[in-house]
Amino acid sequence: MTEPVLTVADLRIRMGGQDGPRTVVDGVGFEVFPGEVLALVGESGCGKTKTAEAIMGLLPGGPRCEVSGRITLGETELLALPESALRRVRGRDLSMVFQEPLTALDPVFTAGNQLATLYRRHRGERARVARRSALEMLRRVGFSNAAQIADSYPHQLSGGMRQRVVLAMAMACRPSFLIADEPTTALDVTTQARVLYQMTDLCRESGTAVLLITHDLGVVAHFAERALVMKDGRIVEEAPVRRLFTVPQHTHTQTLLADAQGSAS
């Protein structure tokens, strides 16, 4: 039997606020398998992004944020890692495509420089080899003019181009697990589809497991095999995508589908 790439078990996140601590993720658990695209669906504020941030180790430290449960990548317990060890895992084994590409790109370095830095850091490649690797990766995400893109700064690229650069960076070291958090929300429909097809094709080629976080059920229908529906910090339904769309069990899933159909009509 195939072993999961990532296992989340009884994940709970409590965060402080003006009205005191509140639970934003409550007992979440799931597994993701090699090459699989698992969608995490829900309305804004349901806990999707906090779940992703917990996996990546990006939640704020200190007493205002309490995290418990288990997050296991392969045989590594991520919640037990010190920050120095987690930094080595990020980018190499665990990666993320953010909703806003400028969040992930440094405005003072060219796209090629930022991509080559990953190859130098995680693979130990020398500058010239890392440059070649960066150009090849840019071609793999659909750039025919890879050298021109590599020599461009983020502000010189369109939103779709920036997101493809971020995808190239996320997949550079062939991570075993990728989180895509609303990766195409800010893009037009045509560019959305292109980026998502490139992302899923790359991940299936390399066997990378994907957690696709989205509120867009159309994206779920086209790109995911299974889906989790989240509401108020909890998973309320888990099903293969086809079954989720044809015989949704939970009332919240039914509401989301009805709203999506209403928006489309």
pLDDT at 265 (0 to 100): 53
Angle at Cα 237 formed by Cα 256 and Cα 32, nearest 5°? 115
Dist CA 194 CA 141 (whole Å): 10
pLDDT at 260 (0 to 100): 86
Q: Are residues 85 and 79 in contact, defined by beta-carbon separation less than 8 angstroms?
A: no
210-234 residue pLDDT tens: 999 998 999 999 999 999 999 999 9
pLDDT at 106 (0 to 100): 95
pLDDT at 1 (0 to 100): 61
pLDDT at 71 (0 to 100): 98
Dist CA 264 CA 251 (whole Å): 20
Dist CA 201 CA 53 (whole Å): 24
**2 Cβ contact partners less than 8 Å away, ≥ 6 residues apart:** 33, 34
183-213 residue pLDDT tens: 887 788 888 888 899 999 999 999 999 999 9
**Residues lower than pLDDT 70 in the chain:** 1, 262-265
**73 Cβ contact partners less than 8 Å away, ≥ 6 residues apart:** 5, 6, 89, 93, 94, 176, 177
- Positive or negative CA dihedral for 219, 223, 229, 230? negative
Main-chain dihedrals φ then ψ at residue 97, nearest 5 degrees: -105, 120
* Domains of the chain as residue ranges with CATH: 6-99+175-264 (3.40.50.300)
Helix (H, G, I), strand (E, B) or coil at 38: strand
pLDDT at 263 (0 to 100): 65
Dist CA 132 CA 139 (whole Å): 11
How is residue 197 written in tokens?
């097809």
Query: Could you tell me the pTM of the whole model?
Result: 0.92
